[in-house]
């Protein structure tokens, strides 16, 4: 095959995600080439090997995907790949570790839409508590929300100190303001939960982070969004297919957003990003901000 569409997948962990490989083939890349245990210092050489081997026509039919498990490392790798480009030998780069960036983008776009429908308001000034907020989805969602003017709290079962350390690290890196909070016990959660406008369940799959009893006491809660599709549900009462379904037990009749409903938008964003790589005449560097723009367009059609 002459001048095939090729996608090189640079992954810092042992395994490359089958999800990402499947999505790349769904987007009709002709060849998807995975690399495992790639270190940050490997990116420059791998990128230059990628761009200099295909000629001016072939390079336009080549892309790089950054996977892994860590949001910050994936962005570092994307930036390192960008600095390795030598115009006109440049290719598009898309970072999405564990699907966290596209998931967080879809999540926040759906929350924006549902909040607007319920209150007519934006995220600006709203308190958002992200339970399990130190993982890649939580961190990325927090950064996007903070950029929208929300008061973001990353919470951790390991306590406020750990959560605050994560918040401080990413505040410094991305120029946002997030805070840490303790979600190690139900009592600790209830110290802040009555003040929460929007809660996101972003803990590991199969862990319930909020019960209906706790939701009953969430006097200011407007939106409850769960990204866990593995039983038990992360937020009790929020069905996996819910998109703006009222939680009758909550004082403000908060709207629930379920994992598979958000996942449908995430899928569209992921696919669209791959299509953008294939169809562009100029190199694209697809990060969390670009993903959020795409997600907003998709969520606006809900």
Q: pLDDT for 220-241, tens place per residue?
A: 999 999 999 999 999 999 999 9
- Is the confidence at residue 1, as pLDDT, over 70? no
Residues 168 and 66 in one domain: no
Residues 139 and 246 in one domain: yes
- Is the confidence at residue 55, as pLDDT, over 90? no
Q: Looking at the 3D structure of the chain, how many domains does it have?
A: 2
Residue 302 confidence class, pLDDT cut points 50, 70, 90: confident
Residues 128 and 71 in one domain: no
pTM: 0.96
Percentage of the chain beyond pLDDT 90 is 94
Residues 258 and 146 in one domain: yes
pLDDT of residue 195: 96
Residues 78 and 113 in one domain: no
Is residue 139 one of the residues assigned to a domain? yes
pLDDT of residue 58: 86
Residue 295 confidence class, pLDDT cut points 50, 70, 90: very high
Question: Which structural domain, as residue segments, surrounds residue 188?
Answer: 103-262
On whether the CB atoms of residues 189 and 217 are closer than 8 A, the answer is no
Residues 232 and 158 in one domain: yes
On whether the CB atoms of residues 46 and 33 are closer than 8 A, the answer is no
User: Among 95, 112, 141, where does a domain finish?
Assistant: 95
Is residue 56 one of the residues assigned to a domain? yes
Bridge partners of 31?
Answer: 6
Residues 107 and 76 in one domain: no
Residues 151 and 133 in one domain: yes
Is residue 1 one of the residues assigned to a domain? no
On whether the CB atoms of residues 125 and 150 are closer than 8 A, the answer is yes
Please give the average per-residue pLDDT across 77-105, as a whole number.
96
Residues 174 and 231 in one domain: yes
Is residue 248 one of the residues assigned to a domain? yes
């Amino acid at each position: 095959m002459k001048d095939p569409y090729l996608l090189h997948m640079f992954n810092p962990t042992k395994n490359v995600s089958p999800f990402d490989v499947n999505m790349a083939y769904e987007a009709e890349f002709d060849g998807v080439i995975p690399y495992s245990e790639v270190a940050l210092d490997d990116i420059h050489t791998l990128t230059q090997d990628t761009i200099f081997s295909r000629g001016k026509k072939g390079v336009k039919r080549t892309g790089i995907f950054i996977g892994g498990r860590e949001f910050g490392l994936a962005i570092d790798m994307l930036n390192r790949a960008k600095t390795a480009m030598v115009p006109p030998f440049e290719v598009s780069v898309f970072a999405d570790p564990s699907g966290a960036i596209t998931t967080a983008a879809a999540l926040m776009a759906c929350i924006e839409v549902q909040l607007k429908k319920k209150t007519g308001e934006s995220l600006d000034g709203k308190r958002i508590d992200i339970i399990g907020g130190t993982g890649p989805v939580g961190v990325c969602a927090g950064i996007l929300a903070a950029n929208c003017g929300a008061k973001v709290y990353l919470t951790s079962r390991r306590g406020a100190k750990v959560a605050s350390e994560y918040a401080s690290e990413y505040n410094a890196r991305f120029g946002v303001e997030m805070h840490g909070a303790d979600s190690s016990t139900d009592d600790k959660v209830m110290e802040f939960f009555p003040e929460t406008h929007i809660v996101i369940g972003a803990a590991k799959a199969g862990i319930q982070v909020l019960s209906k009893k706790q939701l009953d006491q969430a006097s200011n809660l407007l939106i409850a969004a769960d990204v866990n599709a593995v039983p038990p549900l992360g937020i009790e009462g929020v069905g996996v297919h819910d998109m703006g379904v009222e939680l009758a037990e909550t004082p403000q009749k908060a709207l629930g957003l379920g994992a598979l409903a958000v996942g449908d938008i995430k899928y569209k964003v992921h696919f669209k990003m791959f299509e953008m790589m294939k169809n562009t005449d100029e190199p694209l560097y697809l990060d969390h901000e670009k993903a959020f723009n795409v997600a907003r367009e998709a969520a606006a059609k809900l």
